[in-house]
Structure 1
């Protein structure tokens, strides 16, 4: 029974991945707006209903693997230990992601990640979803800090500043990848750049949101 369940789960995972990669290839070839869910289903050799069973919407076919990462910084703040500031928590998490070459911070060697970014940049509705998802992540961090500090205005300033520093680093990674640099070449100086960026934030937020 366990083997049967394991095989079933693997088949589901493989089907989901096949649909995702097929959709991405079609979006790159023809443009997001010109590809229908039925075309994706046909090319993936599944039914249209199966596509929606795995992905709630056409937009999810692009965002499903990445959307959770918009809340990474908020999770770092939420899970930080006693004596750790919000800046230090976000910095620590970011450095850990650099170390493992996490695709979500723009350090990867997988061509399809660049394709995802290309599709998003070329599609207005997807760019709008990025903005909404990013704002949701900032709001989550703001709410956490406001609950701890009792000051929603400073919490908003802190969350926005931390997110801006983090996003600037990620955008720099993506820009350099697009220019042809290798992930390893970028990663070689990524730790130092991250420290400088978060040091800059810390000078303005020094002593703020140190967990008791």
Structure 2
């Protein structure tokens, strides 16, 4: 009977060493996993402060006191004409001025010209807002006065002035406006018109350079 001899010890040595090394490595990894502190997530960046612009459909915008001005204060949507009675900016105009504007606009339409209103009657709140914005834009109350009157003196607040868009209306009125009593008032604002009842006979009076030269506004 042949005798079975076990494999030489040397033949098993490398495998044993490899297995031992693998076991040791696994233990090290397990220990490292237990000891590792989870990374702390970085804090979220602060949300940016967005400006709260009003919806375009509302036609309103915040004023500097936290209130809002909208169509009820005299703001007008694009495409407003002198016939839009539903808008306070038009309905709030002096009746004699509005009648003259509508008579002129009716005749101007025959020449293919439309009177587009960019501003008419304004509430005191809206006028105050415009004045604050003008002071911020131009850097001083004196410079702002060349463009925007106070609520106490503004011919827009009283309903005695209208601003017309650049749709050919000012050119048409420069030739025909006096016949309706419609006159420009300020050299720096060719879009600003007021009623001068004597203009059909005497023509429009001389222009002021700007509103700061208008004695009616010096109260």
Measured against the shorter chain, the TM-score band is under 0.3
Structure number having the greater helix percentage: 1
Structure number having the greater strand percentage: 2
Question: Which one has more relative contact order, counting CA pairs under 8 Å at least 6 apart?
Answer: 1
